């Protein structure tokens, strides 16, 4: 007895059931002719090993697809019931229903083959271009990290809606540095070694960015720095500086933009309250020099931890020192707490908040209008005046989309950092013509792109020069005190 037979029954592999076949007759000729002539299946069912693929289907993907097509037809036919057919001894097949079902199976299988076949040849070229991003998504400054990430996603969706870059979509691979330098380095290592990203955006805080720079330089992966302000980052003596392209301003640039206002504001004796990081310490030095040049002096400096919430002791010292102004370098939630506690202590002095993260709308919401009234801020983007941005059209699109997605309004001036960073990376990849780290790094050196920061381009140390906008809470609302345009800062830099 042969395999597939038992007594007077023979197993038909195309039907998936046993049928009466007293004389073990071959399938009738009508079965053979039911498949289009010239098709690979228009033959008696020979052993699988003896059936040849069409000569035109010589590539590996074609062979795999054809085998899957055969499998699909066989599986589809096995769902048919014996009652759908009359046996060969009863005069042939119940052809109408069988033909319809088989035809649909063949058409469906080959439609998939024709659709996927040509696509497979170019599938590799359509794979997303990976872009790494590291932000503090947990820890004491998680809010800032989430705003920047959302801004980056808006830019990403906008780029991809226009066809992506080099005909391929961009994909953000986002890592949480947990507001910690060591975690930032770990995140960078994962993105570089495991995810093979050719470029990284990050990492909010200066200490965090400095921690990952040597590793990025070791692997030749360029860094687009969207927020960090420490002058060390673009100092040629700093390990890893050679791979940095920073779109955010240094504390020195902030001081240049705001310095001219100091005499007009009557700031003479200053108390400085700063976060105890590379950002805060660097800002104290940079603004200290600017104050000195403009006839003011820092009378007292107090540093605070990233997670601190009680500032009464430091503010009490300022009050005892008789300062007429307080300068703050910290994130928006902590700056709001400081203003509330100054109000409680009766420390009624001029206030300037640096760094760009705090702005009138956020501080009014977080601290309350009475505590925020009169406070001034150094910002880099005005969401109420699109014309102030380097690219007014992009500014409007960004604000409209931020509102459409229902994102917190107070985070919009932080989110623009991520928006500009993704657009800079996209333009660099487009210019590079190839998404490799070396080509992207080279493209960044000569890139010029107008964005929300202003004119994004980089000097010999990888530093860009953005708009510096001094804003103020006036009658509980946003107002602009002064602006130093990006173009003017570029002129000042060239003059040096």
What is the DSSP annotation of 16-32? TEEEE-TT-PPPPHHHH
Strand intervals (E) in 219-319: 223-225, 244-246, 269-275, 297-304
Q: For residue 470, what pLDDT is reported?
A: 95
Q: For residue 280, what pLDDT is reported?
A: 96
Reduce the DSSP state of residue 111 to 3 states and report it: helix
Q: For residue 449, what pLDDT is reported?
A: 94
Q: For residue 75, what pLDDT is reported?
A: 44
Per CATH, which fold does 252-379+468-495 belong to?
Rossmann fold (3.40.50)
| Averaged pLDDT, groups of 10, the chain, 496 residues long | 39 39 40 33 37 38 39 42 38 41 42 43 68 97 97 98 97 97 98 98 97 98 97 97 97 87 87 97 95 93 96 98 97 97 97 96 97 97 97 98 98 98 98 98 97 95 95 97 90 71
Instruction: State how far the Cα of 483 lies from the Cα of 377, in Å rounded to an integer.
Output: 12
Which strands form 350-354's sheet, in the order they lie side by side?
Answer: 297-304, 269-275, 325-329, 350-354, 376-379, 468-474, 477-484
Instruction: State how far the Cα of 369 lies from the Cα of 364, in Å rounded to an integer.
Output: 5
Per CATH, which fold does 128-249+386-457 belong to?
Rossmann fold (3.40.50)
pTM: 0.75
Q: For residue 256, what pLDDT is reported?
A: 86
Q: For residue 489, what pLDDT is reported?
A: 87
Reduce the DSSP state of residue 338 to 3 states and report it: helix
**Range(s) for CATH 3.40.50.2300 in the chain?**
128-249+386-457, 252-379+468-495
Q: How far is CA 422 from the centre of its chain?
A: 6
Would you mind telling me the total number of residues written for the chain in this entry? 496
Residue 225 Rama label (left phi>0; alpha psi -120 to 50; beta): beta
């Amino acid at each position: 007895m042969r395999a597939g037979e038992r007594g007077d029954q023979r197993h038909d592999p195309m039907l998936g059931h046993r049928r009466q076949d007293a004389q073990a007759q071959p399938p009738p000729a009508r079965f053979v002719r039911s498949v289009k002539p010239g098709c690979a299946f228009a033959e008696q069912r020979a052993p699988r090993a003896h059936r040849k693929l069409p000569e035109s289907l010589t590539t590996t993907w074609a062979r795999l697809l054809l085998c899957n097509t055969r499998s699909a037809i066989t599986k589809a036919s096995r769902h048919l019931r014996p009652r759908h057919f009359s046996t060969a001894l009863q005069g042939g097949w119940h052809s109408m229903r069988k033909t319809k079902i088989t035809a649909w199976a063949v058409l469906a299988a080959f439609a998939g083959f024709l659709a996927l076949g040509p696509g497979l040849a170019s599938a590799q070229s359509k794979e997303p271009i990976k872009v790494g991003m590291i932000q503090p998504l947990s820890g004491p400054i998680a809010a800032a990290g989430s705003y920047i990430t959302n801004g980056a996603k808006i830019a990403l969706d906008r780029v991809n809606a226009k066809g992506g870059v080099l005909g391929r979509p961009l994909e953000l691979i986002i890592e949480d540095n947990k507001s910690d330098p060591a975690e930032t380095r770990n995140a960078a290592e994962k993105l570089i070694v495991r995810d093979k990203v050719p470029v990284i955006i990050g990492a909010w805080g200066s200490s965090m960015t400095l921690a990952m720079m040597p590793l990025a330089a070791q692997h030749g992966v360029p860094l687009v720095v969207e927020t960090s302000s420490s002058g060390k980052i673009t100092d040629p003596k700093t390990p890893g500086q050679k791979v940095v392209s920073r779109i955010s301003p240094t504390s020195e640039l902030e001081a240049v933009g705001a310095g001219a206002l100091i005499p007009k504001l009557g700031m003479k004796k200053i108390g400085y309250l700063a976060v105890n990081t590379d950002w805060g310490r660097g800002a104290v030095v940079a603004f200290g020099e600017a104050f000195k040049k403009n006839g003011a002096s820092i009378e007292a400096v107090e540093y605070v931890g990233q997670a601190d919430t009680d500032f009464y002791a430091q503010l009490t010292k300022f009050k005892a020192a008789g300062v007429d102004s307080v300068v703050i370098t910290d994130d928006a939630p902590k700056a709001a707490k400081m203003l509330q506690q100054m109000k409680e202590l009766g420390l009624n002095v001029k206030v300037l908040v640096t760094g760009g993260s705090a702005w009138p709308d956020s501080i009014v919401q977080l601290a309350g209008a009475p505590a925020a009234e009169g406070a001034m801020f150094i910002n880099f983007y005005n969401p109420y005046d699109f014309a102030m941005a380097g690219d007014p059209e992009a500014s409007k699109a960004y604000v409209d989309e931020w509102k459409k997605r229902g994102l917190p309004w107070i985070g919009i001036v932080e989110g623009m950092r991520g928006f500009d960073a993704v657009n800079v990376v996209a333009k660099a990849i487009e210019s590079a013509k190839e998404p490799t780290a070396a080509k992207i790094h080279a493209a960044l050196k000569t890139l010029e792109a107008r964005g929300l920061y202003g004119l994004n381009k980089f000097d010999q140390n990888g530093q860009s020069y953005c708009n510096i906008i001094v804003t103020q809470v006036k009658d509980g609302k946003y107002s602009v005190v002064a602006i130093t345009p990006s173009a003017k800062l570029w002129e000042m830099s060239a003059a040096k």
